[in-house]
Amino acid sequence: MTIDKETVEKVAQLARLELTEAEKEETMQDMSKILDFMAKLNEVDTTGVEPLIYMTDTANVLREDVVKHEITHEEALQNAPKHDEDYFLVAKVIEK
């Protein structure tokens, strides 16, 4: 299957991408290769093959959530570029 320039432009517009002509050509080739590969996968006989949900048989392997090391307030502020006695000081990023 081949992808035309209009399809690439439509996808680029939906993705809010600005592509040069060279990038559009490269994208057309890449998308065509992807669709060709998908067509090959559709030819594979998967009769009797169970869908793969997880890569391993193990599910929900959890560890206990334990605090291992606690630092003091002073230690937390020690490496901060700017701080006062209690807080990190950062540049204002929100305007009113």
- Provide the number of structural domains found in the chain: 1
pLDDT for the residue numbered 79: 85
Residue 84 dihedral angles phi and psi, to the nearest 5°? -110, -155
Residue 36 is assigned to a structural domain of this protein: yes
Burial 70-93 (b: 16+ CB within 10 A, else e): eeeeeeebeeeeeeeeeeeeeeee
Residue 76 is assigned to a structural domain of this protein: no
Q: pLDDT tens digits for 10-35?
A: 999 999 999 999 999 999 999 999 99
Residue numbers of the domain that contains 18? 5-43
Q: For position 30, which CATH number holds?
A: 1.10.20
Residue 93 is assigned to a structural domain of this protein: no
Residue 82 is assigned to a structural domain of this protein: no
Residue 87 is assigned to a structural domain of this protein: no
Residue 30 is assigned to a structural domain of this protein: yes
Percent of the chain with pLDDT over 70: 98
User: pTM value?
Assistant: 0.50
1 pLDDT tier (thresholds 50, 70, 90): low
55-62 long-range contacts, Cβ below 8 Å, gap at least 24? none
